[in-house]
Amino acid sequence: MTPILLIDDDSTTRLVLKRALQRQGYEVTVANNGEDGVRLAKEIKPGLIVCDWMMPVMDGLEVCRQVKATPYLSTTFFILLTARGAVEDRVTGLDTGADEFLAKPIEIDELQARVRAGLRIHQLSQDLQKQKQMLETELSEAARYVRSLLPSSVSQGPVWIDARFVPSQQLGGDCYDFQWLDDESLAIYLVDVSGHGVGAALLSVSVLNVLRSRSLPHANFHEPSEVLDALNQAFQTTTSADFYEGKYFTIWYGVYHRPTRQLVYASAGHPPALLLSVAKSGTVDRLNTPSIPIGMFPDADYESQCCEIAPSSQLYIFSDGVYEIPQPDGTVWGLDAFADWLSQESDGGGVDLERLLEEIEQLSPDCVLDDDLSLLQLTFL
């Protein structure tokens, strides 16, 4: 049975209330002051506390404040006993964390009814916490599954690739990949599905599998615009399975041709890739082709563009979780700030990806990400 803690400095009140609750079959522990009450609360973890407001040394408000500030006691139902009847006093009690009030002199029938109701609410809170923990566990497992599908970093060959995936607490729909289409052409892409949760993650995995298997009909995977057109036809929100209905995704897709050092790319509603040129003293060029996300309209047009990659350049492909970081002043770090940081940090050389992740962690309030963070860094040797 869930224990009840009774805290009151008046011995008569303690005796009367304890017996009244025990007659109802409750397990009751008593404390005669606030300090002992807080100590006992941490020991026995009661489901409900009945506490007098006016006590020496530590009053009921301070007891309530300390109890509610203890994580494993935060769902404990707290009833304040008080002779105070003013509205402002009740507001103060509620702001402190009290869940209910009982006016003195105490009516035993009312006490028992409030205790029954309080314990029901406590049990409901406990059940909700368990469900939340189960959901968080499932999302964590889904995040590990998505991470297991993503390629690791490559530090050999003509292009070195450093890859990072940091899932948010809610689990988003980020995924990425890179693969040599032949001996001369390297395909790189990053997908970001709208929304959060398992549904977004499953759609991103579906897109990843289609691109990896090159199973899009009538698509030349060397031509980014054709790939985006084919994806848009295959993943229309109005014609896809009900599970994906209403979801869309952004994508950046590029193909690097090694002999000519040409990069052909196209994007669909995705943040631009950033090309950091060491030869140009840290100049950052934005590579994107304006268009709408995949799955919104079947007649959307996608175009490819081309640029030359200078030796030792670095290409950054990422989801918006990299730069859409809320700041304490209500602003967002933003894409411009991210591009400026890359330019300044390069200082005539490459940028260390670990240093970038440290910067993002420092910018994130409480180091908690609101969205998945996916990032590819390609260094062209």
Q: In the predicted model, what is the mean pLDDT of residues 261-279?
A: 93
Contacts of 148 (CB under 8 A, 6+ apart): none
pLDDT tens sequence across 190-249: 999 988 777 788 888 999 999 999 988 889 999 999 999 999 998 885 444 444 566 899
Q: What pLDDT, on the 0 to 100 scale, is given for residue 173? A: 82
Query: What is the structure's pLDDT at 369?
Result: 63
What SS3 state is found at 117? Answer: helix
- Terminal alpha carbon distance of the chain: 68
All domains in the chain, ordered by first residue:
4-133 (3.40.50.2300), 153-380 (3.60.40.10)
pLDDT at 85: 64
For residue 259, what pLDDT band results from cuts at 50, 70 and 90?
Answer: very high
Q: What is the pTM of this model?
A: 0.70
- Provide the mean pLDDT of the chain: 88
**DSSP annotation of 294:** B
Collapsed DSSP state (helix, strand, coil) of residue 231: helix
The whole-angstrom separation of Cα 321 and Cα 354 is: 16
Q: Give the confidence band of 364 by pLDDT, cuts at 50, 70, 90.
A: confident
The residue among 55 and 361 whose pLDDT is bigger is 55
147 pLDDT higher than 90 = no
Confidence (pLDDT) at 194: 86
Alpha-carbon gap, residue 320 to 372, rounded angstroms: 8
| pLDDT of amino acid 328 | 82
Helical residues (DSSP H) of the chain, grouped into ranges: 11-22, 34-44, 60-69, 87-96, 108-149, 198-213, 224-234, 334-346, 353-363
Q: What is the band of 370 on the pLDDT scale with cuts at 50, 70, 90? A: low
> 58: helix, coil or strand?
coil
